[in-house]
Every structure is written in structure tokens, then in C-alpha cells.
């Protein structure tokens, strides 16, 4: 075999194959876009001069005119001297009564704008006012519970005297009434029940009501409802009263619905059709005829959607009036009021204009209820039912609020104090029982209430109540724009409020939530914050303190500066340190979650002041490792979204600690997806570290990162690529010509990679990184380092798995051979020692045994043999390039083989031997393949293509013709025509005639 290389003129071929260029005319579709962009750029005003930087002549600011490593920093923080977010801030604490300085540039980079925060707070306020009763009901049942309670024995008796007027004689009825009177005179028998038994009995009454109604026993239904309603007059177990109210009103709601449905059913009947049907039936009966028609069900005439009382027939109206007459005849006040309230929706059948009068009448009737607790819950039920039938009407609710506030006078009497003593509760606990009802009433009043209503309500509060529970609901339910302009006075009002279960700290927390939506005026903000924090910081209950601090933290983040933020965070950490010393931190981790989430979301506001202060890390240290790692993930995700490259050493150090915490939470048992996610977050942080021209400092940071994140291969891979980028930046900065110091720095970068890459477990990743580092070394004219990387890559080729049919190895060899084109040979080992080594390594790789059963192993081995032959064909392309007088491409400053050997006889002879050895090995592999496999055909065609493209002369033509004839013959015998294009190309190149 004597193969001669074909010679190419790359520049001439490039010129011949390139298309001629033509200037575009005025109608080119992209020309208008270019012009528009140019005009827009021209219209932009010039950027304002930056007062923080010194303006220098152009020749002095050229980054390429100086050695980036020759100017060591005397102060490692000097480059950040003008980036301190507090440097240009006027201390707002020095003037608590004056306006705040809003010109702080660090305050402009908030994650959420002030307008967006106010919109979100307003939406939250509206959602809270519109909280469904179903949710509120569940909260009450969960809050107010008891272990046991005493009830009348009559409560456990079922109403079994169904339609007693029919079943009992007059004498029996009289006897029963006399027995009842005797029982009453003798005193009621009491029973003690558990809460569960009490609830089950009320549930049975509820079910009995529905059964009695379906059976048509209306009187029994009313008796059951009255009996349940009487429970609302019993305050013997006052701690359970709110829950009793919820369960009883469920019975009332059911009663109201079924009565409404009955009246609606009558309203939808067609009276005229019913009259005609009755007349026809009467006529047939008189004539003695039997109707042949089957009796049809009554057809309903559906009312229009917005029906009025004019659309209701007389029968339905009379039925409705009859029900209200029945209710008004109930002797006891409380059942009569509650049952009329549950039937409020039925008034629509009679009139739609009387709701304001009816609601006002019922609100006045509730004044006759003597017990304050019973009265306020009756007002609550009226507000709930009234809000369903007449949402716009608020006059009756306002009246109830004034009545409730006026009733606080009674709480100061000795008689009421004695009553509380009998019930076994304090005034604070008694008011806490009223809180759900009061809150619902205030929501009905405060919804879209004008300022005049708020002012009058606040006046009544100051005159009669002055209780913190009431003030909390006033603040919570009225629009904050009514009191935000007088925020300082509102804070004073909170401090003067009488204590209740809702402490002063709780009210301050509520007012903070509203100040997010409507902040205090700027001239009052510091005064308000100082006055509030004087109280909050003295709070002994850590949970209450944390909850209030979280609310005020959000206010500070949106409406104050970074200075106030730092002061608040330091105070929080101070309390946590004290709590940790007392062993209380374990119980407040759940309460700290909202605060930490808020800090994480805004951690890059004010130029990252939250992270730089160190308080965030101190707070995170109070969490368990698992939760701490989750918060670290959130921090790094937020950093990736909201931050650009940074050179701030404090910020970088903080994020490094955060990343290391996340790294340490990963172990060998962690899921692979979790490891990849954490590595991605840490890599994102590493990529954003940028010290500008201080390359040595950047490399030192990468060294620290390698030591800190040694267990994540993805992070080490990213570090290797970042260091390669750093070396190339140095080369570009020096315009491709290193001096002694920069050359040493680049060698240090390559040494970093030489140490780091072997610690990566995946051999395929190591191969890719070694080739990349080899290219970087070659570009920077570090030839010994390049040889080291490439030799190291060849050594680990046999370790690479043969998955994916060897496609990964084929792709890598293509990249490697492309680099070898310009890599100069070794004076000691010869010009082709790397290629020889690669050929041997591929042979070992193809012989490596794969795991699995025999059939799988055999298939994998065949695939690797095929992939090895494809790689050898790629190596022929490199050999062809080396045989040219001038290589197709070159590295500036590097003398490749075309310069070093200049096509010498010995060089060409050794190259021919190498090429012939490669071709021989491919031919041997083809002949060793059994059967007529598609892989064998593909290799033959690939070899033919290489022989035609790279070689010439009799020997090459003879081998090409031999292989081509064998291939064509096999195709013709098999009747295949899939490789016709290849054969046409071969014939054209060899000059074969048809039939040859």
C-alpha cells in the first residue's frame, strides 16, 4: 500500500466557492430596522456624568494600555469606595419630625416597586373584607372550644309529639301542660355533656328539622328551630358561646332556605292553568265520564332572573305573609328575632323597597336583648343576613356599631363585674369572646365607608370604648386612607387604648399591614416608626414580637430607607440571641418563616444591604439544617433573578457562606435531581462574580470556591470553564501578547484546571474539559501545558463508557482532531506522537468489556468497534491537513507543523506510514465484521469517501476501485439502490464508464 496525499489550495477553493456580495437596495426588508435603530440611538440624550467617578482623558482610561496585574490593590475595598449604599444618605433619625430624604440612590433598586406593593396590599385588604362566612365559621369553631358543659335535660329530649293537635285529646293536652308547669316550678334538671355530645345533639336536631319538613310537619319544624334558638340565650358556658352560635345559625340558615324554596315553588305555579284543569275535572265528574288522559304533572312557569314582587302570584304572597305571621306570634324575643332574620330573603316576595326599614327595625329590636354577648352575636347574624339581601345598605350596621360601643358603659358597673365573676371569666376574656362578631359587624360597616362614617365611629370609640380589641377591628376594617394622613395621632390612640386579649403589639401589627397600602406622610414616618418601636422592642413574648416585626419590616422595605432596615434587623437578631440563650428558639422557627421569606424576596433591595449586613445569616442560623438549606436555595434563586455581576466583597462572602451551607446539605444519599439543582444555583452565583481587571483576586476566589464546593462535580466543571474564560480575558486584554507577569498568571490558571479536572468523576466531562483547556493553553502559547492536557485526555479515553452507540466518542474525537491540526509536534517524541497515542487509546477503548449479559455485551462491543473505525476515518482528515503545504487555519503566535517541518521528506514519510496504518486498521475492522450489516456498509462508504477526498495515485485508485466494485456488486445482487448517490460520486471521481 503506497498512498499519496492529495494537495489542496484552501484559499483558492474558498475564493471559488464563495458567493459574490451585493449591496442591498433601499427596499431590503432589514434596512428599515437598521435605520430605525440608528435614529432611536441618535435621539437618546447623552448619559449624565457620574459624579462618583473621576473623568480622565481617553488615553488614560484605555483598559488595554496597561498591565491588568501590575497595579496591585493596596486596599481590597478601595474599588468599592463609591458603592457604599449608606455613603450619600442623610441620617433620617437625626430629624425625626422632618421629611425623609428620598433621594438615596440605593433605595431605587427595590424588588417590588412602591406602587406595586400598594396595589397588592389594597387587594389583600379587599380580600380580607370579602372573606366568606364559611372560612370565618371554621376559624371560630377551631378557636372556641371546651371540654364539657352543662345543659338543661330538656335539650336532650326529642320533639316526638308530631301534630299533637290531632293525636291528643283535650284532657290529655291539659294534663301535659300542667305537668310541664309543675316541672318548671320544681327547677330544671341539668346534665353535663362533652363538647362532642353537644355537637352531635345539635346535628341530630338539624337532621330532624329536614326530615320533619319533608314529612310536611311544619309545626314540628318550627318547634325544633325555636328549641335550638333558645340555646343562644344560655351563657352558662360562656367560653363555648361563639361555637354554639355557629352551629345554631346553621340550623336557622337551613330553615330559612327551605321556607324560601317552598314560597318560590308556589310563586312558580300557573294559577290560571290549574283553575282550568280543575274545572275540566269537575265537569267530567258531573257527567260521569272517566278521563282517558293521564294526569299530568303541573308545569312550572319559571320567573325571570330579576323578578320583582309584581311577578309573584297571590298564593305565594299569602303563604309568605302567613310565615311572617307565625314568626311574629312567637312569645320569646330572641327566637322571634333570629327566625325573622333567617327569613329576611323571603321579604322579596312582598316588597323590595322595605329592606332598609326592616333591617333598621330588627337592629332596634336587638337592643332589647339584655346580655351583651348574646346581643352582639345577634347583631352579627343580622349583619350577615342583611349583607346577603341588601349589600348596599349600611345604615342599620352603623347603628349597631354605635349601640355596641355605647354598651361599654355597662362593663364598668359592679353588677357586670359580679356577673363576670359568676361566669368565671375576666373582662379581657369576655371581650375576646365578642371579637368574631364585632369583626364581622365592622367589616359590614367599613366596606367602602366614607370618611365621615369612620370619623364618627372613631369618636364613639374614644367616648365610650377605648379598648384595644375594638380599635384593632376599626383599623383592620376601614380603608387606611382615612387615618394614614394622621398616622402619628393613630399611634397615640393605640398607646392609650385599654388592654384586652389583643395587646398593643397586636394592634401595631395590624396598623403596619395597612400602612403598606397607605403609608404615613413623609414628615411623620420617622416619628411613627420611633414611637412604635419604643413599645415593640420591649415586648417579652417572642412570638408576638416576631409577628409584629415582620409586618413592620415590610413597611420599612417599601417606605423607608436602608438605615431603618438595618436598625430593625439588628433589633430582631438581638431578641433572637437572647431567646437562644434562654432556649426558646426551637419553638419560634415557624413564626420566623414569614420574616425570612420577606427578607429573601427583598434581599437585593438597597444594593443588597440585607445580605451585606450579616443579620440575615444570623437569622438563618436559628433554623434547622433542612429548612436553612431551603432558604439558601431561595436566596440564590433570587440572586440569579434580580442581580447582575458583582464585585462587592461583603456580598460575595455572604453568598459564599449561603452556597456552602447549601453544599453541605448535600450528601451521597441526596437525589440526583436535588444535587443538580443545588449545583446549578451555586454555579449561577460563581458566574456572577466579577472583579473587573483584578484577575488575581478573581482566581483566588475560584480557588476558595473549589475548596468550598468539592463534592459537586457540576460546580467544579463550571469553575474550570470560568478559569478558562479568565485566561482568555487576560489574553484579550493584552492584545494577544503576554508579558512576563500575565504569562505566569495564565500558567497559574492552567495549573488550577490541571489540578481540578482529575477530581471530576465523569470521564466524558473530563475529556471535554481537557480539550478546552488544551485549546486555551495553545491560544496563550503555553505549549507544555497544552501537551499535558492533551496527553491526559488520551490516557483517559479507555475509561469512557461506550453508551449512545459510541456517538459521544465520535464527536469528541472530531473536536480533538480539529485541535491537533494546529498543535505542533514534540522535538523529542516526534510530530505525530499524540495521533499515535490516540490510535492506541481507541483500540483499548473498543476492547473494553461492558457490563450486562452476553447478548448486550456483544452488541456494545460491535458498536464500539464501529465507533472506533469512524474515529479513525476522522483522524485521516487530520493527516490530510498535515500533508498540505499550508494548514487550513493557524493560532497566532504558534508555529504549527507546516512551519516546523515544512513538508520534509522524513516528515511526509512518517505521515504516510501513519495514514496507511489507519487505513489498514479500518480495512481489517471491515473484514472482521460478520454478515451484511448496515454498519459495515457505512464504514465502506466512509472509507471510500476518505480515499477519494484525501489520497491520489495508483495505489489509492486501485484500493478505491476494489472496494467500490465489491460494494456495487453486493448492492446489485441484493436489489438495493440506497447508495446510488455515493456510487455516482465514486464513478465521477475515478472516471469509470457505465458498466465498469
- The set of cell numbers assigned to 779 is 491560544
- Supply the pLDDT for residue 83: 32
- The β-bridge partners of 689 are 646
Describe the crossing of helices 833-847 and 783-795 by its angle, rounded to 10 degrees. 20
Separation between Cα atoms, residue 311 and residue 380, nearest integer Å: 32
Separation between Cα atoms, residue 590 and residue 51, nearest integer Å: 46
| pLDDT tens track for 697-754 | 999 999 999 999 999 999 999 999 999 999 999 999 999 899 999 999 999 999 999 9
- The β-bridge partners of 646 are 689
Q: Please state, in angstroms and as integers, the Cα–Cα distance from residue 163 to each residue in 40, 167, 214, 313, following that order.
A: 89, 7, 14, 29
- Supply the pLDDT for residue 159: 57
The mean per-residue pLDDT over the stretch 189-199 comes to 77
| pLDDT tens track for 120-157 | 766 766 666 667 778 888 888 888 887 766 666 566 56
Could you tell me the pLDDT band of residue 917, with boundaries at 50, 70 and 90?
very high
Describe the crossing of helices 427-446 and 451-460 by its angle, rounded to 10 degrees. 160
Separation between Cα atoms, residue 466 and residue 464, nearest integer Å: 7
Percent of the chain with pLDDT over 90: 47
| pLDDT tens track for 95-119 | 334 444 433 444 444 555 667 666 7
Q: Which residues contact 779 (CB under 8 A, 6 or more apart)?
A: 728, 731, 891
Average pLDDT taken over every residue of the chain: 81
Q: Which residues contact 727 (CB under 8 A, 6 or more apart)?
A: 746, 749, 750, 776, 780
Closest CA to 342 of 301, 286, 385, 278: 385
Separation between Cα atoms, residue 246 and residue 435, nearest integer Å: 14
Burial of 232 (0-12, 13-18, 19+ CB in 10 A): buried
Could you tell me the pLDDT band of residue 275, with boundaries at 50, 70 and 90?
low
Closest CA to 400 of 435, 367, 439, 446: 367
For 621-762, where are the alpha helices, taking DSSP H only?
625-642, 649-664, 672-687, 695-708, 713-733, 740-756
- Supply the pLDDT for residue 819: 95
Strands 951-952 and 4-5, sheet pairing: antiparallel
Q: Cβ of 746: how many Cβ atoms within 10 Å?
A: 26
- Supply the pLDDT for residue 742: 94
Separation between Cα atoms, residue 439 and residue 396, nearest integer Å: 16
Separation between Cα atoms, residue 824 and residue 865, nearest integer Å: 29
Q: Please state, in angstroms and as integers, the Cα–Cα distance from residue 370 to each residue in 410, 439, 803, following that order.
A: 11, 21, 86
- The set of cell numbers assigned to 111 is 424588588
CA dihedral 571, 574, 580, 583 (to 10 degrees): -70
Separation between Cα atoms, residue 896 and residue 872, nearest integer Å: 22
Sign of the CA dihedral 522, 526, 527, 532? Answer: positive
**946-970 per-residue burial string, b: 16 or more CB within 10 A, e: under 16:** bbbebbeeeebbebbbebbeebbee
Local structure of 5: helix, strand or coil: strand
Could you tell me the pLDDT band of residue 52, with boundaries at 50, 70 and 90?
very low
| pLDDT tens track for 411-437 | 988 999 999 998 889 999 999 999 999
3 torsion bin: left (phi>0), alpha (psi -120 to 50), beta (else): beta
Sign of the CA dihedral 304, 309, 315, 316? Answer: positive
Separation between Cα atoms, residue 702 and residue 708, nearest integer Å: 10
Note whether 925 and 886 are within 8 A (CB).
no
Separation between Cα atoms, residue 329 and residue 346, nearest integer Å: 17
Candidate from 235-249, 344-358, 566-580, 976-990 with smallest mean pLDDT: 976-990
Give the total residue count for the chain: 996
Note whether 263 and 323 are within 8 A (CB).
yes
Sign of the CA dihedral 246, 248, 251, 255? Answer: negative
How crowded is the C-beta side of 340, counted as CA atoms within 13 Å? 22
Burial of 230 (0-12, 13-18, 19+ CB in 10 A): middle
Candidate from 318-322, 392-396, 835-839, 974-978 with smallest mean pLDDT: 974-978
Local structure of 274: helix, strand or coil: helix
The mean per-residue pLDDT over the stretch 832-837 comes to 93
931 torsion bin: left (phi>0), alpha (psi -120 to 50), beta (else): left
Could you tell me the pLDDT band of residue 855, with boundaries at 50, 70 and 90?
low
Higher pLDDT: 361 or 7? It is 361
Separation between Cα atoms, residue 215 and residue 991, nearest integer Å: 106
Burial of 353 (0-12, 13-18, 19+ CB in 10 A): exposed
SS (H, E, C) 83-97: CCCCCCCCCHHHCCC
Could you tell me the pLDDT band of residue 26, with boundaries at 50, 70 and 90?
low
- Supply the pLDDT for residue 341: 94
- The set of cell numbers assigned to 894 is 504558534
Local structure of 584: helix, strand or coil: coil
| Highest-scoring range by mean pLDDT, 391-395, 469-473, 976-980 | 469-473
Separation between Cα atoms, residue 201 and residue 500, nearest integer Å: 34
Separation between Cα atoms, residue 673 and residue 15, nearest integer Å: 51
Higher pLDDT: 182 or 832? It is 832
- Supply the pLDDT for residue 370: 87
The mean per-residue pLDDT over the stretch 277-282 comes to 69
For 759-832, where are the alpha helices, taking DSSP H only?
763-779, 783-795, 807-820
- The set of cell numbers assigned to 455 is 370619623
Phi and psi at residue 467, to the nearest 5° = -110, 140
Separation between Cα atoms, residue 768 and residue 793, nearest integer Å: 9
| DSSP 8-state class, residue 481 | G
Separation between Cα atoms, residue 180 and residue 943, nearest integer Å: 114
Note whether 382 and 341 are within 8 A (CB).
yes
Q: Could you tell me the pTM of the whole model? A: 0.73
Could you tell me the pLDDT band of residue 1, with boundaries at 50, 70 and 90?
low
Return the residue matching grid coordinates 437572647.
578
The mean per-residue pLDDT over the stretch 790-805 comes to 87
Closest CA to 817 of 718, 946, 952: 946
Q: Which residues contact 837 (CB under 8 A, 6 or more apart)?
A: 791, 794
- The set of cell numbers assigned to 177 is 301542660
| Highest-scoring range by mean pLDDT, 169-173, 185-189, 390-394, 540-544 | 540-544
Amino acid at each position: 500500500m503506497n498512498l499519496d496525499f492529495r494537495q489542496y489550495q484552501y484559499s483558492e477553493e474558498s475564493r471559488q466557492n464563495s458567493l459574490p456580495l451585493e449591496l442591498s437596495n433601499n427596499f431590503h426588508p432589514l434596512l428599515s430596522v437598521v435605520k430605525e435603530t440608528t435614529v432611536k440611538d441618535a435621539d437618546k440624550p447623552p448619559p449624565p456624568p457620574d459624579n462618583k467617578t473621576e473623568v480622565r482623558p481617553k488615553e488614560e482610561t484605555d483598559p488595554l494600555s496597561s498591565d491588568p496585574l501590575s497595579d496591585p490593590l493596596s486596599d481590597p475595598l478601595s474599588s468599592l469606595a463609591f458603592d457604599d449604599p449608606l455613603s450619600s444618605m442623610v441620617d433620617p433619625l437625626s430629624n425625626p419630625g422632618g421629611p425623609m430624604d428620598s433621594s438615596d440612590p440605593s433605595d431605587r433598586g427595590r424588588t417590588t416597586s412602591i406602587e406595586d406593593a400598594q396595589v397588592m396590599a389594597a387587594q389583600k385588604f379587599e380580600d380580607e373584607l370579602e372573606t366568606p362566612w364559611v372560612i370565618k365559621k371554621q376559624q371560630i369553631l377551631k378557636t372556641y372550644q371546651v371540654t364539657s358543659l352543662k345543659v338543661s335535660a330538656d335539650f336532650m329530649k326529642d320533639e316526638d309529639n308530631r301534630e299533637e293537635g290531632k293525636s291528643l285529646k283535650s284532657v290529655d293536652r291539659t294534663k301535659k301542660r300542667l305537668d310541664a308547669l309543675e316541672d318548671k316550678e320544681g327547677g330544671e334538671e341539668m346534665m353535663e355533656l362533652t363538647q362532642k355530645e353537644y355537637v352531635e345533639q345539635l346535628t341530630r336536631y338539624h337532621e330532624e328539622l329536614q326530615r320533619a319538613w319533608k314529612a310536611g310537619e311544619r309545626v314540628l319544624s318550627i318547634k325544633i328551630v325555636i328549641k335550638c334558638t333558645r340555646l343562644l340565650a344560655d351563657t352558662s358556658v360562656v367560653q363555648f358561646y361563639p361555637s354554639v352560635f355557629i352551629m345554631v345559625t346553621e340550623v336557622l340558615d337551613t330553615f330559612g332556605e327551605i321556607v324560601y324554596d317552598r314560597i318560590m315553588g308556589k310563586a312558580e305555579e300557573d294559577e290560571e292553568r290549574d283553575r282550568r284543569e280543575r274545572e275540566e275535572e269537575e265537569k267530567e265528574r258531573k257527567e260521569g265520564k272517566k278521563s282517558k288522559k293521564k294526569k299530568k304533572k303541573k308545569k312550572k312557569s319559571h320567573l325571570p332572573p330579576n323578578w320583582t314582587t309584581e311577578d309573584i302570584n297571590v298564593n305565594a304572597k299569602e303563604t309568605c305573609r302567613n310565615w311572617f305571621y307565625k314568626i311574629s306570634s312567637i312569645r320569646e324575643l330572641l327566637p322571634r328575632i333570629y327566625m325573622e332574620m333567617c327569613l329576611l330573603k323571603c321579604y322579596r316576595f312582598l316588597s323590595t323597597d322595605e329592606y332598609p326599614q326592616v333591617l333598621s327595625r330588627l337592629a332596634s329590636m336587638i337592643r332589647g336583648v339584655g346580655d351583651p354577648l348574646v346581643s352582639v352575636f345577634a347583631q352579627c347574624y343580622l349583619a350577615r343576613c342583611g349583607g346577603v339581601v341588601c349589600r348596599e345598605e349600611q345604615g342599620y350596621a352603623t347603628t349597631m356599631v354605635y349601640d355596641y360601643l355605647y354598651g361599654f358603659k355597662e362593663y364598668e358597673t359592679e353588677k357586670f363585674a359580679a356577673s363576670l365573676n359568676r361566669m368565671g371569666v375576666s373582662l379581657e376574656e369576655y371581650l375576646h369572646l365578642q371579637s368574631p362578631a364585632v369583626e364581622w359587624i365592622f367589616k359590614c360597616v367599613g366596606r367602602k365607608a366614607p370618611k365621615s362614617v369612620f370619623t364618627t365611629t372613631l369618636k364613639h370609640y374614644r367616648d365610650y370604648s377605648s379598648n384595644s380589641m375594638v380599635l384593632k377591628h376599626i383599623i383592620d376594617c376601614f380603608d387606611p386612607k382615612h387615618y394614614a394622613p394622621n398616622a402619628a395621632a393613630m399611634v397615640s390612640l393605640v398607646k392609650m387604648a385599654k388592654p384586652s386579649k389583643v395587646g398593643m403589639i397586636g394592634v401595631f401589627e395590624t396598623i403596619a399591614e395597612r400602612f403598606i397600602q397607605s403609608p404615613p406622610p413623609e414628615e411623620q414616618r420617622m416619628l411613627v416608626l420611633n414611637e412604635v418601636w419604643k413599645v415593640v422592642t420591649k415586648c417579652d413574648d417572642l412570638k408576638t414580637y416576631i409577628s409584629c416585626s415582620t409586618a413592620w419590616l415590610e413597611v420599612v422595605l417599601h417606605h423607608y430607607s436602608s438605615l431603618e432596615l438595618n436598625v430593625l434587623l439588628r433589633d430582631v437578631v438581638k431578641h433572637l440571641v437572647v431567646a437562644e440563650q434562654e432556649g426558646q428558639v426551637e419553638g419560634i422557627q415557624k413564626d420566623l418563616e414569614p420574616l425570612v421569606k420577606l427578607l429573601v424576596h427583598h434581599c437585593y433591595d438597597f444594593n443588597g444591604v440585607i445580605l451585606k449586613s450579616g443579620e440575615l445569616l444570623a437569622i438563618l442560623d436559628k433554623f434547622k439544617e433542612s429548612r436553612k438549606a431551603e432558604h439558601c436555595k431561595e436566596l440564590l434563586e433570587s440572586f440569579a433573578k434580580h442581580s447582575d455581576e458583582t464585585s462587592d466583597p461583603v456580598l460575595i462572602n455572604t453568598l459564599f457562606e449561603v452556597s456552602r451551607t447549601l453544599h453541605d446539605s448535600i450528601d451521597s444519599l441526596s437525589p440526583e435531581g436535588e444535587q443538580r439543582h443545588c449545583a446549578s444555583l451555586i454555579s449561577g452565583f460563581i458566574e456572577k462574580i466579577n472583579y473587573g481587571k483584578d484577575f488575581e483576586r478573581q482566581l483566588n476566589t475560584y480557588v476558595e470556591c473549589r475548596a468550598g464546593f468539592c463534592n459537586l462535580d457540576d460546580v467544579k466543571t463550571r469553575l474550570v470553564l470560568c478559569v478558562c474564560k479568565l485566561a482568555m480575558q487576560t489574553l484579550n486584554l493584552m492584545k494577544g501578547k503576554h508579558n512576563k507577569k500575565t504569562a505566569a498568571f495564565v500558567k497559574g490558571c492552567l495549573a488550577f484546571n490541571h489540578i481540578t479536572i482529575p477530581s471530576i468523576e465523569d470521564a466524558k466531562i473530563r475529556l471535554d474539559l481537557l480539550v478546552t483547556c488544551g485549546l486555551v493553553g495553545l491560544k496563550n502559547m503555553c505549549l507544555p501545558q497544552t501537551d499535558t492536557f492533551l496527553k491526559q485526555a488520551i490516557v483517559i479515553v479507555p475509561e469512557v463508557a461506550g453508551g449512545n452507540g459510541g456517538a459521544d466518542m465520535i464527536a469528541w474525537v472530531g473536536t480533538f482532531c480539529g485541535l491537533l491540526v494546529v498543535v505542533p509536534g514534540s522535538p523529542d517524541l516526534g510530530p505525530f506522537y499524540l495521533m499515535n497515542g490516540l490510535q492506541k487509546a481507541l483500540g483499548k477503548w473498543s476492547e473494553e468489556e461492558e457490563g450486562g449479559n452476553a447478548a448486550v455485551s456483544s452488541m456494545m462491543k460491535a458498536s464500539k468497534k464501529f465507533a472506533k473505525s469512524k474515529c479513525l476515518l476522522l483522524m485521516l482528515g487530520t493527516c490530510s491537513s498535515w500533508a498540505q503545504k499550508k494548514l487550513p487555519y493557524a493560532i497566532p503566535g504558534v508555529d504549527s507543523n507546516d512551519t516546523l517541518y515544512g513538508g520534509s521528506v522524513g516528515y511526509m514519510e512518517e505521515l504516510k506510514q501513519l495514514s496507511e496504518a489507519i487505513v489498514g486498521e479500518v480495512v481489517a475492522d471491515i473484514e472482521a465484521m460478520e454478515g451484511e450489516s448496515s454498519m459495515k456498509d457505512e464504514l465502506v462508504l466512509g472509507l471510500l469517501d476518505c480515499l477519494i477526498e484525501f489520497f491520489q495515485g495508483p495505489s489509492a485508485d486501485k484500493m478505491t476501485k476494489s472496494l467500490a466494485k465489491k460494494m456495487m456488486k453486493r448492492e446489485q445482487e441484493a436489489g438495493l439502490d440506497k447508495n446510488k448517490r455515493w456510487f455516482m460520486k465514486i464513478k465521477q471521481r475515478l472516471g469509470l464508464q457505465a458498466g465498469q
